[in-house]
Amino acid sequence: MNINATLLAQAVVMIVFVAICWRYVYPPILSVMKEREKKISDGLEAAKKADDSLEEAKLAFEKELDLAKGEAAEILDKANTRASKIVSDASAKAEAEAEKILSSAATTIENETNKAKEELRQQMSEIIIDTTQKILSSEISEEKHEEILKKAAEEL
């Protein structure tokens, strides 16, 4: 193998080239690569934090949703209880009103019955008096009339 000047010159140029690259080209490339690596690691860390925060948000959302469901169930229970109370109050009020109406109707019927009986007694007394007057052909005095009415009332 012959070592000649061309080979030596190429070796020297290669060494100078590597030295220049090592001194001026590689540092900016390495700094850019380190910066990029840092950005990527920061991005991954941010993504991990975002995932963690998303999980926390999901847990908080589920907790709030459970609380809201609990409150809704409580409100529904209160509404159902209130509706039941209103219905029972209305039912009791309606029963009391019906009882009042029945009592009033019974009193009215009793009063009407008594009134009808009294009218019948009055009419009967008049018929008896008219008949008696016709039979006796004489008029009865007021005192006798009252006495006859009392006797007729006692007989009924």
Comparing 138 with 37, which gets the higher pLDDT? 37
Task: Supply the pLDDT for residue 139.
Answer: 59
pLDDT per position as a tens digit, 50-79 = 999 999 999 999 999 999 999 999 999 999
**In the predicted structure, residue 137 carries a pLDDT above the cut 60:** no
* Range 122-136 average pLDDT: 75
Task: Supply the pLDDT for residue 153.
Answer: 77
Task: Supply the pLDDT for residue 124.
Answer: 82
CA dihedral over 108, 112, 113, 115, signed as positive or negative: positive
**In the predicted structure, residue 18 carries a pLDDT above the cut 90:** yes
- Where are the domains positioned within the chain? 5-155
Share of the chain above pLDDT 70, in %: 92
pLDDT confidence band for 155 (50 / 70 / 90) = confident
Average model confidence (pLDDT) across the chain: 87
Task: Supply the pLDDT for residue 147.
Answer: 80
pLDDT confidence band for 4 (50 / 70 / 90) = confident
Distances (CA, A) of 112 to 97, 105, 106, 125, 152: 22, 10, 10, 19, 21
pLDDT per position as a tens digit, 82-106 = 999 999 999 999 999 999 999 999 9
Q: How far apart are the first and last CA of the chain?
A: 166
* Range 33-54 average pLDDT: 94
Return the exposure string of 87-98: e unless at least 16 CB atoms fall within 10 Å of the residue's CB, then b. eeeeeeeeeeee
